Amino acid sequence: MAPRQTPADPAGDLIGRAAEPVPQVKLQGMAADGIGYGLMAGLAESGHGVENVEFNAGLHIALETVASARRWLDGENPFEVATEMAVDL
């Protein structure tokens, strides 16, 4: 008689899979790069600077300050405080 096989331990499978990197599709990465580079080129071409902005601080400013988008489009920098908080990785 053959030995009885038991199903795989679900928790063990999850732990093993969590340790592996998430697969990235090459075309998705290329599309994301293209969008990012296009955005940076468009900003530079329209005379807007590209700066590192701490995401949470910038989002807070954008949501709390009604005229932040208009000020930015008019050449002001409503995100200056968030720029000072950004950390280069």
Domain ranges of the chain: 25-85
The model's confidence at residue 67, banded by pLDDT at 50, 70 and 90, is: very high
Distance from C-alpha of 23 to C-alpha of 21, rounded to nearest angstrom = 6
- Higher-scoring residue by pLDDT: 88, 27: 27
Q: Which of 44, 55, 64 is nearest to 86 (CA)?
A: 55
Q: Inform me whether the pLDDT recorded for 5 exceeds 60.
A: no
- Taking residues 27-54, report their average pLDDT: 82
Whole-model pTM: value is 0.45
